[in-house]
């Protein structure tokens, strides 16, 4: 039988781990409208067969996207994850830059753009899985935003990809 909501599997290793984050989707919306969804669909079927955690609270004030994704991926608040906001001040460049812009790791297909998880000061779930599997785990992190894909993929994902409407061919 599937685990009950909020519980974790206790036997054997996982063959596949999927972490889905639906930004801006409150659990109350699923409570209110969930009955209209297919019982074996993504939300209701996934909640029944996987781990469902409701009513999560964050022990910090600023619930911006980047710190939230870092908290989900690492289990750490911003002061421990190293991600305090969606943007940060880069003294060397004298500019406010995206949280994941390291000024060094080029983004494929987007000249002059940079992104890496170097700002993360804590291991993500993906990092722990890779270590526990002796490097056999393959991490693919996909999102609509760079900060979500980069931070949730941990320190060394095989792929971190996101949608970018400014790149020709993405629209």
10 has catalytic annotation: no
Q: How far apart are CA 153 and CA 97, in angstroms?
A: 20
- Catalytic residue among 10, 63, 65, 166, which? 65
Q: How far apart are CA 41 and CA 153, in angstroms?
A: 25
Asked if residues 152 and 69 have their Cβ atoms less than 8 Å apart, the reply is: yes
> How many distinct helices (H) and strands (E) make up the chain?
6, 4
Question: Residue 153: exposed, middle, or buried by beta-carbon count in 10 A (0-12, 13-18, 19+)?
Answer: buried
Q: How far apart are CA 157 and CA 139, in angstroms?
A: 5
Q: What is the DSSP string of 21-39?
A: --TT--HHHHHHHGGGS-T
Show which residues are catalytic.
65
């Amino acid at each position: 039988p599937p685990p009950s909501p909020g519980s974790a599997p206790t036997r054997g290793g996982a063959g596949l781990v999927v972490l889905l984050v639906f930004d801006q989707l409150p659990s109350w919306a699923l409570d209110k409208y969930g009955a209209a969804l297919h019982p074996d669909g993504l939300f209701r079927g996934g909640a029944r067969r996987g781990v469902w955690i409701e009513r999560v609270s964050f022990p910090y004030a600023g619930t911006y996207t980047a710190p939230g994704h870092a908290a989900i991926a690492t289990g750490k608040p911003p002061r421990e994850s190293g991600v305090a906001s969606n943007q940060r001040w880069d003294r060397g460049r004298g500019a406010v830059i995206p949280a994941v812009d390291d000024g060094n790791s080029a983004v494929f297909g987007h000249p002059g753009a940079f992104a890496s998880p170097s700002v993360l000061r804590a291991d993500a779930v993906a990092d722990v899985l890779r270590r526990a599997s002796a490097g056999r785990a393959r991490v693919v992190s996909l999102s609509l935003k760079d900060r979500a894909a980069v931070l949730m993929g941990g320190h060394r994902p095989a792929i971190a990809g996101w949608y970018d409407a400014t790149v020709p061919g993405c629209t």
